[in-house]
Structures are given as structure tokens and as C-alpha cells.
Amino acid sequence: MSYGQGGPPSQWDPWKPQSQQPWSSGGGSGSGQSPDWAALADASETRHKRRRLLFIGGGAIATVAIGTAVAVAVVSANGSNQASDPSSQLPATTDLPSITGTVPSFAPTSAPPPLDPKDFVSSAQKDRAPLGPDVLFPGTQLTMGDTVYKKGPTADTRNCASAAKATLPKVLTDNGCSRLLRVTYTKDDIAVTVGVAVFDTEAQAAKAKQQADAKSIIKSLAGGGVKEFCDGAVCRSTTNAYGRYAYFTLSGFTAAKNVTEKDKAVFATGNDLAEFTFRQIRRRGEAQASAAAEE
């Protein structure tokens, strides 16, 4: 059989158009040649595998390319050319903000010290509030605990010695007493007179208290329904001082009988009135200190 213009027939490629299928030479002279179907199937399968491999490989390359583009985009968005290692993207420890934040600071301030109430009753210059028997001892009665004392007569004199007895007049005069206030309270058959001596300074009052002795007593104050007491009878007396004030008590029976150590009620009455006098002088200082603090 002739092959045309010389040379072997062209190789048949099922994927190329107009290519010639090869024919086997197994037949006799003058008979037609049948194609080798098994060889054709093997060739077709080989080409299919090659195309799949190319397709898969191309997809992997595309995936790598996309991944690279994303990585580059992330780095570019961060404005950094550092490697894509996540740990390299974290700020240094010193760059992290403090969890507790910055504690605000304030300029140091100091509040003025509180005013001492005693300062306002320790000198005539600062103790300027009104003063009188009814100022220190207001009302018509006094309650101390469960005991109620009825207020009696009051007195106010600039001649301190005239309201004192025995050794007290000299003590008051020598230390510059400028005023002596008195008030009497009663409870049943017991009466007590309180005397408050006023000085210019705390030092004068303290010295008067120191110089007073067992015979330094004030005169009892009767009147206004209160009978004479402690006039010739033995009575109980006390002496104390606070600020520029020295204060005294004289307690006894209105029945003109002597006070003994067994008469606890007389002692309690004198102690109650001495305590109340101290509180009133201190309150006087507190009121003036409070007023001065508000100015």
C-alpha cells in the first residue's frame, strides 16, 4: 500500500483535528486494516492524566500566589516590612499601656487646725461673748441625771471680795478678780451656792485656785424663797478653775445643821453643780470658737 508522497504516515492525535488514525498491518494483501482499540484507549487515558496533573498543579500555584498576595496585603496594611511571624508584630512590653493607668496627683493641701474652744475663755481679749449669771446659768431649773435642782437667786458684783469669806477675799483681790457671779440651787432641804470669779488671764485664775485653802469660801446666797444656810453651820466647799474662770461651790442644809461625811446627798449636790459650771464655761468657749471658724 502506498503512503503517498513518501515518508511514514502522520502520527494520529485524538486531540488534534484532521489527524489520521493509524492502521495496523496485520491484514492480508487487499483486505482493510482495523484500528488498535486498546492502544488508543491507553493513549487517551495518558493524556487525561497529564491534563489533570497540569490542572491541579496550576491550581496549587494559583493558591500559593493568592496566599502571597494576602500576606503582602496584610504587611502593607500594617505599614511594616517585618516578617509575617505573629510574635514579631506584638509591641514590646515597655510599649504596652499600664493596666492601672496613671494615678492623678494633687498639690498638697493642709486644712487649718481646728480652733481650741479653751483659747476663747482663757483671756479677756478673746472672750468677748455676753456674760452674766443668767447667761452661764439659764432657765429656772437644772437637771443632772435623774435629779432636778430648782434655781434660786442670782448675784453679780465687781467687788469680788464682798462676796467671799475667810481667806478667799484676799486670794481674789491679789490675783486681779474683776467680777464675781453667784447663783443658788436647791433640792429638798439642801442648798448650794456657785460662785464664778472672772480674771483677765488663765494664769491668774490658776494661781487663785492654787492659793485657795480649806477656809477659802464664797458667801452663801439666800433669798427668793431660799432660807439662809451655811451661816455658822459646817458646810462643804469645792474650788476649781477652767480658762480665766475660777469657780467655787458651798453646799449645806437650809435647816442650819452641820454637814458630815455621811451626808452623801450634800456631796452629790455640790459635785453636780461644780460639773455643770465647768460644762457651761466650756460651752461658752465652744460657741465662740464655732462662730470664729465661720467668719
Q: What is the pLDDT of residues 184-227, one digit of tens each?
A: 999 999 999 999 999 999 999 999 999 999 999 999 999 989 99
Mean pLDDT of the chain: 79
Alpha carbon distance 259, 217 (integer Å): 15
285 in Cβ contact with 120 (< 8 Å): yes
Alpha carbon distance 295, 293 (integer Å): 6
The region of weakest confidence among 49-53, 186-190, 247-251 is: 49-53
Cα→Cα distances 25→10, 36, 106, Å: 15, 10, 110
Place of cell 467655787: 248
CA atoms within 13 A on the CB side of 17: 0
Residue 154 above 90 pLDDT?
yes
Please give the grid coordinates belonging to residue 204: 491668774
- 255 Cβ contact partners less than 8 Å away, ≥ 6 residues apart: 189
Alpha carbon distance 56, 37 (integer Å): 29
Confidence of residue 295 (pLDDT cuts 50, 70, 90): confident
Amino acid making up residue 276: F
Residue 59 above 70 pLDDT?
no
Instruction: Give the total residue count for the chain.
Output: 295
250 in Cβ contact with 170 (< 8 Å): no
CA atoms within 13 A on the CB side of 97: 4
Phi, psi for 50 (deg, rounded to 5): -60, -40
Evaluate if pTM is beyond 0.85: no
Amino acid making up residue 256: A
For residues 167-172, average pLDDT:
98
Please give the grid coordinates belonging to residue 256: 442650819
Decide the pairing of beta strands 164-166 and 179-187. Answer: unpaired
